[in-house]
A = this chain, B = another copy of it.
């Protein structure tokens, strides 16, 4: 059961520019020429945002922002909240006000809710699949360019956790870094010599030998990339809690439970952000 206090919806100062850009992209230079010509300016309407397929909802607060940016007089009422599950046909929110304004904001609002709910839904499936274990599902930096803030939020709505937000908020030493630095030990030493004390260090390892080396170096987190569940289980035994263990690679609905049952702390998935199909949502008048 998701604790809604942990969702941390994006602050309006960070959210509004993203939504504004999307609206400008759709309005173009001339605006919504169809609605402005066809719909009388005093026509009012009430529309219901509905899920056409079942899923976990994310992005209602983004839709609210879109409707309010297009027309501050629109009244947006939440029928569901971000992070909740919804069956097909369920009403998620109502919008009421000038019909023109609702129509002008409709597509952008739906694009956000559909995209983000798709991510929340894909995340929730993985989270459900590992229910009962202590393993957490986390996302990656494989997000859609320009939407990282919102996609990380959608992952939280689906019950997942966030990895780094970017290249600058923690050190992640990958295989190519290790090669360039001539070994894990040297790489970790360099990072420790330059990094502040509030940034964590993670090292990606491909083998149990590398794992041993990383453990001895005392790094915060170790990324076990593309290991068999047998090796993962062995890694958990070797680590004895001395580092956080994160597994990645070949994470699907079919494999995720077995990976979780090895005892790793985190399983990271790029697919929940880069390949989740849109959730089908619509606006009914």
Contacts and interface: CB of A to CB of B under 8 A. Distances in A.
Interface of A: 3, 5-6, 8, 10-11, 13-14, 18-41, 43, 45, 69-70, 99, 103-104, 107-108, 110-112, 114-115, 118, 136, 138, 141-149, 152, 156, 161-174, 176-177, 179-181, 187, 190-191, 193-200, 202, 220-221, 244, 246, 265-266, 270-271, 274-275, 277-278, 285
A27 B172 CA distance: 14
Contact of A111 (B172, B220, B274): B274
A28 B169 CA distance: 8
Contact of A166 (B26, B172, B193): B26
Nearest to A265: B197
Nearest to A149: B29
A257 to B, nearest CB: 20
A181 B18 contact: no
A91 to B, nearest CB: 17
Contacts of A136: 197
A202 B199 CA distance: 11
Contacts of A115: 144-145, 274
Contact of A34 (B23, B146, B177): B177
24 contacts: A6-B193, A8-B37, A13-B27, A21-B145, A28-B28, A28-B166, A29-B168, A30-B162, A34-B174, A35-B167, A38-B177, A38-B190, A39-B181, A43-B180, A45-B176, A45-B180, A107-B141, A118-B275, A146-B147, A165-B168, A165-B169, A197-B200, A197-B246, A198-B200
B144 A195 contact: no
Contact of A31 (B21, B168, B197, B200): B168
Pick the most buried of A10, A190, A199: most chain B CB atoms within 10 A of its CB.
Answer: A199
